[in-house]
Amino acid sequence: MLTAKHEGAGNYHYHFPSSAVIVTARHEGKENAMTAAWHAPFSFSPPYYGVLISPRRFTFQLINSSRQFGINFMPLEQAELAAAVGGSKGAEVNKFEKYNIKKDSPVKTSVPIIKTAYAAYECRLVDSKTYGDHELFVGEIVAVHFDQKAFPGKGLDLSSGVAPLLYLGGENYSSTDKNITRFVDRQIYGQ
Ligand SMILES: Cc1cc2nc3c(=O)[nH]c(=O)nc-3n(C[C@H](O)[C@H](O)[C@H](O)COP(=O)(O)O)c2cc1C
């Protein structure tokens, strides 16, 4: 029920929850990781994925220079890692060492892939554009990594035990539960 309204946006956060991912990047031996809640798929063919990053982030510089980035989809049990890399600056600290982040080898790029993710995309930058105080980086997905038991068919199967990390705003995280999952067929309901 909508019980309040006002003009303008204020500190708008009404679109939450959204999944919190960890963006990884690497340039000339320097690698980094940061949390992002502002990200989305843009196209199936070619497969494009976009993420919005403030120019104040160290990750921004690494992506701009290397023209590649990784998107790591994390489980709820990694919320502390998301808060750690989203609350520290890669310009000051090596987050992979400090937070003991385990890496997996990339397939087509040199971005670090996080071993504890349940899925990850390797992207090559195809476009970037400034929107207000953030930069939209759009990359072509050139390789994917995923937990096979979590993706047996179309989409994520929560009975696999994977609980995706959702961000609610502030310092609050949550997930989805297989007990509230509903199968709602668009062929039937779209008639
Ligand atoms: C849950 C969460 C979501 C965030 N989402 C974004 C985002 O979408 N874009 C962004 O630029 N920063 C976002 N941040 C902030 C960065 O992760 C944070 O500033 C980080 O310290 C940047 O690290 P870096 O300077 O090493 O790149 C988020 C932080 C948290 C905790």
Examine the pLDDT at 110 and tell me if it is beyond 90: yes
Which 3 state secondary structure label does DSSP give 117?
coil
d(CA 78, CA 189): 36
Residue 165 lies in a domain: no
Q: Please give the number of the atom of ligand 1 that sits closest to the Cα of 34.
A: 17
Residue nearest (by alpha carbon) to ligand 1 atom 17: 86
The pLDDT value recorded for residue 4 is 96
- CATH number, domain at 93? 2.30.110.10
Domain carrying residue 60: 18-145
Please give the share of the chain, as a percent, with pLDDT higher than 70. Answer: 100
d(CA 51, CA 31): 18
Q: Give the single-character DSSP code of 107.
A: S
Examine the pLDDT at 154 and tell me if it is beyond 90: no
Q: How confident is the model at residue 115 (pLDDT cuts 50, 70, 90)?
A: very high
Separation of CA 167 and ligand 1 centre (Å): 12
Structural domain total, the chain: 1
pLDDT tens per residue, range 32-67: 999 999 999 999 999 999 999 999 999 999 999 999
Among 4, 55, 52, 59, smallest CA distance to 33 is for 59
pTM score, whole prediction: 0.98
Residue 13 lies in a domain: no
Q: What number is the average pLDDT over the span 82-95? A: 98
